[in-house]
């Protein structure tokens, strides 16, 4: 069963997912620390380029199925116009109320 975004436990992760699902670029970058990093399937990527391609240009959307580690690890059905839908795992590092790193990949 999908977890409503407004029920996600960690406020920084909740802000990230809310902005991603709204395709709100300014809100998503506001949820990230200025020097945030990320990886996709174990390979570090440029955050802005990855978000532009995998989220904003392709209308990415997360339906969260479960959360762990106080809301900083999510399993979600992620879909976008490029890849369709797949089960993904997301792990977030939060510092000072902002996401400083996220790691995603197939679950």
pLDDT tens for each residue of 82-98: 999 999 999 999 999 99
Domain boundaries defined on the chain = 5-106
Side by side, which strands form the sheet with 84-95?
A: 43-45, 32-40, 98-106, 84-95, 73-80, 61-68
pLDDT reported for residue 1: 84
Contact 73, 90 (CB under 8 A): yes
User: Has residue 103 got a pLDDT over 90?
Assistant: yes
Q: What is the mean pLDDT of the chain?
A: 97
At 89, which helix (H) or strand (E)?
A: strand 84-95
Structural class in CATH, domain 5-106:
alpha beta
The DSSP bridge partners found for residue 43 are: 40
pTM of the model: 0.97
CA–CA gap between residue 102 and residue 32 (Å, rounded)? 9
Please name the residues in contact with 79: beta carbons below 8 A apart, sequence gap of 6 or more. 60, 61, 63, 85, 86
CA–CA gap between residue 57 and residue 75 (Å, rounded)? 23
């Amino acid at each position: 069963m999908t977890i409503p975004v407004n029920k996600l436990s960690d406020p920084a992760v909740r802000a990230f997912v809310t902005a991603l699902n709204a395709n709100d670029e300014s809100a998503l970058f506001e949820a990230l620390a200025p020097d945030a990093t990320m990886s996709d399937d174990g390979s570090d990527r440029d955050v802005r380029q990855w978000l532009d391609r995998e989220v904003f240009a392709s209308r990415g959307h997360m339906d969260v199925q479960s959360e762990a580690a106080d809301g900083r690890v999510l399993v979600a059905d992620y879909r976008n116009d490029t890849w369709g839908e797949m089960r993904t795992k997301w792990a977030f590092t939060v510092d000072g109320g902002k996401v400083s790193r996220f790691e995603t990949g197939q679950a």
